[in-house]
Chain A
Amino acid sequence: MIFIKLILTNLLRHRIRSFISIAGIAFSVAAMLTVVTVLQGAVGMFSGILSSDSQIIVFERNVSDLFFSSVPTAALNEIASWSIVEHADPVLFGIVSSEDHPIITCFGITASDARLRKATWITGDRSGFAQNPDGVVLGERAAEFLKAIPGNTVQIGHGTFQVIGTIKTANGFEDGGVFMPLASAQTFFHKEGSSSVITIKLRSKEDASLFKSKVKTSFPTLVALEDQEFTRTYSQFKILKATAWAVGGCGLLLGGLGVANTMIMSVFARIREIAILRVNGFSHTQIGTMIFGESAILAVLGAVAGLLLGTVFLYALKLIPALHGYVDVSIQPVVVLIVIVLALLTGIAGALYPAVYAMRVRAVEALRFE
């Protein structure tokens, strides 16, 4: 109890300093949680686009980005004819800009695509899709920022299209996108006879290995990956995740420096007290444990406050209309665990030098310290 009291006494003795350290860690943790969760949500949503009512994605081997992938229509037709395949949906991705909107994602799809089948139609219906080569369906958010309703024409890139319906999906990317008939998209993006990917639904999930093996044999330039496999290995996702953790890590490093500063000040200001403890039998280990204990408490309180703050940030971001659908507030337990562990490690690292300094205090010299 006395040992814990000694730790707490010191933290409470300089409340403002302790509060600033906790705030430093809290903001770092909140930043890390927000960045990682937003990017993981984005990755999840992008994965969701690909895995809409499908288990496997087929795309061109060795492309760095799916926008550059090209899967020939001949391959699509052959794969769709395999008995183990329930359906194969081609998707052509394209990015265009319009006035005030630098990035609009376009999806070239067929009328039977799950995106249209499973969407909630706000206006219009699926039967009209692909009847008119210039007819497009807008995601709910795209309709908002393009200020378009069915019957209107919209300028997308260098083309003019007629809006035939608006849909709401569960995916922020899709809600901000434009859905074009596949053939129109192929012409628009100069990718006649190909799509970016094919999403596959198998009759039996057990056939996944067989399917991948068949693709490898029949189409050496293509690769088939199961959805989870794709999310794990796709280089863009890896870069995004690494960036998120790196940015969060930098934030935490700054928080750690704050703890280090606090602990250094704290140790220097009570050299005499540490000497008293040494004279009264405290071992080097006990002195070190006391210092590490103080920083661990700062780190844990900072981590808890940061998690709360980060959650509030995320909900606030979700409420911003422009980000609607892009922010997924489902905080993964593993992220929480990693953030807490990193905050603790940061706190301990920040206390390393002060603890070593405190352990080396020479009692006889420190007692002369006024």
Chain B
Amino acid sequence: MTNSPSPLTIAAIVLQAEDVWKSYDDGAISVLQGVDFEAIQGETVALCGPSGCGKSTLLHLLGGLDEPDRGRLSVNRVELNRHRSPLRMLRHELGFVFQLHNLIPDLTLEENCLIPSVAAGLPRQVALSRLHELTERTGLSHRLKQRIQKLSGGERQRTALCRALMNKPRILLADEPTGSLDEKTSATVFDLLLDIVAKEGVTLVIATHDRALASRCDRLVEMHDGRIYEPESL
């Protein structure tokens, strides 16, 4: 349960989940049990909790990757359940970063990053300009033509971050984005992530085990057994 938001906050809500339930194996495994969640424009929210508590499932539902058994999900006040292809609708609204970078190994860094712009039909010059801006910020501009196999773990995750931000989404969903990195690289990537979302005014919802990283977000939401508990204002 979240605190009652003010009317001003309501106007700025970009992500909303209301009484969302999700189970697998015909209801045998209940993952989310009546989750209510909101995120407002430009805030960074950390979803914390043990493995299997439903963090990733909630992110997948918020991002239109999966459908809830019941409940209502909205992105920028548009209800996802009403769309046949939520992923298509969310092209410009949402970006994803996963624990595994999920890049296409046979393509170069540049080509991987351009995939969302191709999907959205952005003019190539516009897309290239955005790519150069992002790679400049993430320190990857000298690696544009490198194939993914030749990049380090940190570079791959930074590439995934660039790709997620290509279409200037207003929301970034990150599922354990530093989970596969060592402590130092993890801190670097997380710094970068917070820096970019702050500069671009992007709403960040991040699922993480790392409480130290989570504490750097504007808000921390605890999840346990498929439920959300009172958030701590940090």
**Which chain A residues have a beta carbon within 8 Å of chain B's beta carbons?**
1-3, 5-6, 9, 13, 272-273, 276-284, 286, 362-364, 367
Pick the residue among A5, A9, A367 that contacts B102 (CB under 8 A). Answer: A367
Query: Are B65 and A279 in contact, CB atoms less than 8 angstroms apart?
Result: yes
Query: Are A363 and B106 in contact, CB atoms less than 8 angstroms apart?
Result: no
Contact residues of B between 106 and 125, Cβ < 8 Å to A: 106-107, 111, 114-116, 118-120, 124
Contact mask for chain B residues 93-112; partner A; CB cutoff 8 A; 1 contact, 0 none: 00010100011101100010
Query: Are B87 and A2 in contact, CB atoms less than 8 angstroms apart?
Result: no
Does B60 lie at the interface of the complex (its beta carbon under 8 Å from any beta carbon of A)?
Answer: yes
Does B91 lie at the interface of the complex (its beta carbon under 8 Å from any beta carbon of A)?
Answer: yes
Query: Are B120 and A281 in contact, CB atoms less than 8 angstroms apart?
Result: yes
A9, A281, A286 — which one has the most chain B CB atoms within 10 A of its CB?
A281
Pick the residue among B66, B96, B103, B115 that contacts A2 (CB under 8 A). Answer: B115
Do A9 and B106 contact each other (CB < 8 Å), given the known contacts A2-B111, A363-B87, A364-B65? yes
Q: Give chain A nearest CB distance to B105 CB in angstroms.
A: 9
Which of chain B's residues has its CB closest to A275's CB? Answer: B102
Give Cα A321 to B118, complex, Å: 58
Which residues from A are CB-within-8-Å of B65? 279, 363-364, 367
Query: Are B115 and A277 in contact, CB atoms less than 8 angstroms apart?
Result: yes
Query: Are B118 and A273 in contact, CB atoms less than 8 angstroms apart?
Result: no
Tally of chain B residues near chain A (CB < 8 A) = 26
**Which chain B residues have a beta carbon within 8 Å of chain A's beta carbons?**
60, 63, 65-66, 85, 87-88, 90-91, 96, 98, 102-104, 106-107, 111, 114-116, 118-120, 124, 163, 167
Which residues from B are CB-within-8-Å of A277? 115, 119
Query: Are B118 and A3 in contact, CB atoms less than 8 angstroms apart?
Result: yes
Which of chain A's residues has its CB closest to B166's CB? Answer: A280
Query: Are A2 and B114 in contact, CB atoms less than 8 angstroms apart?
Result: yes
Q: Give chain A nearest CB distance to B3 CB in angstroms.
A: 30
Which residues from A are CB-within-8-Å of B163? 280
Pick the residue among B66, B103, B119 that contacts A281 (CB under 8 A). Answer: B119
Which residues from B are CB-within-8-Å of A281? 87-88, 90-91, 115-116, 119-120, 167
Pick the residue among B98, B111, B119 that contacts A282 (CB under 8 A). Answer: B119
Do A367 and B98 contact each other (CB < 8 Å), given the known contacts A3-B118, A280-B163, A283-B88? yes
Do A364 and B60 contact each other (CB < 8 Å), given the known contacts A5-B107, A286-B119? yes
Which residues from A are CB-within-8-Å of B96? 279-280
Query: Are B104 and A283 in contact, CB atoms less than 8 angstroms apart?
Result: no
Give the total number of A-B pairs whose CB atoms are below 8 A apart.
61
Query: Are B85 and A284 in contact, CB atoms less than 8 angstroms apart?
Result: yes
Which residues from A are CB-within-8-Å of B107? 2, 5-6, 9
Which residues from B are CB-within-8-Å of A283? 85, 87-88, 119
Which of chain B's residues has its CB closest to A10's CB? Answer: B106
Nearest 10 CB-CB pairings of A with B: A281-B119, A281-B91, A364-B65, A364-B66, A280-B116, A282-B119, A9-B106, A2-B118, A280-B115, A283-B88
Q: Give chain A nearest CB distance to B131 CB in angstroms.
A: 11
Give Cα A66 to B115, complex, Å: 66
What are 6 A-B interface contacts by the 8 Å CB criterion? Answer: A276-B103, A276-B104, A281-B90, A282-B119, A362-B66, A367-B65
Give Cα A363 to B65, complex, Å: 6
Which residues from B are CB-within-8-Å of A1? 124
Which of chain A's residues has its CB closest to B59's CB? Answer: A364
Which residues from B are CB-within-8-Å of A276? 102-104, 115
Which residues from B are CB-within-8-Å of A6? 104, 107
Q: Give chain A nearest CB distance to B170 CB in angstroms.
A: 14
Which residues from A are CB-within-8-Å of B104? 6, 9, 273, 276
Which residues from A are CB-within-8-Å of B102? 272, 276, 279, 367
Q: Give chain A nearest CB distance to B57 CB in angstroms.
A: 9
Give Cα A1 to B163, complex, Å: 17
Which of chain A's residues has its CB closest to B56's CB? Answer: A364
Which residues from B are CB-within-8-Å of A286? 119
Give Cα A214 to B63, complex, Å: 82
Give Cα A367 to B91, complex, Å: 18
Which of chain A's residues has its CB closest to B103's CB? Answer: A276
Q: Give chain B nearest CB distance to A278 CB in angstroms.
A: 6
Which of chain A's residues has its CB closest to B101's CB? Answer: A276
Give Cα A271 to B167, complex, Å: 24
Which residues from B are CB-within-8-Å of A2? 107, 111, 114-115, 118
Give Cα A6 to B90, complex, Å: 22
Q: Give chain B nearest CB distance to A294 CB in angstroms.
A: 14
Pick the residue among B85, B106, B119 that contacts A280 (CB under 8 A). Answer: B119
Give Cα A365 to B172, complex, Å: 20
Which residues from A are CB-within-8-Å of B87? 278-279, 281, 283, 363
Query: Are B106 and A13 in contact, CB atoms less than 8 angstroms apart?
Result: yes
Which residues from B are CB-within-8-Å of A273? 104
Q: Give chain B nearest CB distance to A184 CB in angstroms.
A: 76
Give Cα A362 to B64, complex, Å: 11
Which residues from B are CB-within-8-Å of A362? 66
Give Cα A362 to B61, complex, Å: 13
Q: Give chain B nearest CB distance to A13 CB in angstroms.
A: 6
Which residues from B are CB-within-8-Å of A9? 104, 106-107
Q: Give chain B nearest CB distance to A132 CB in angstroms.
A: 80
Which of chain A's residues has its CB closest to B124's CB? Answer: A1
Q: Give chain B nearest CB distance to A6 CB in angstroms.
A: 8
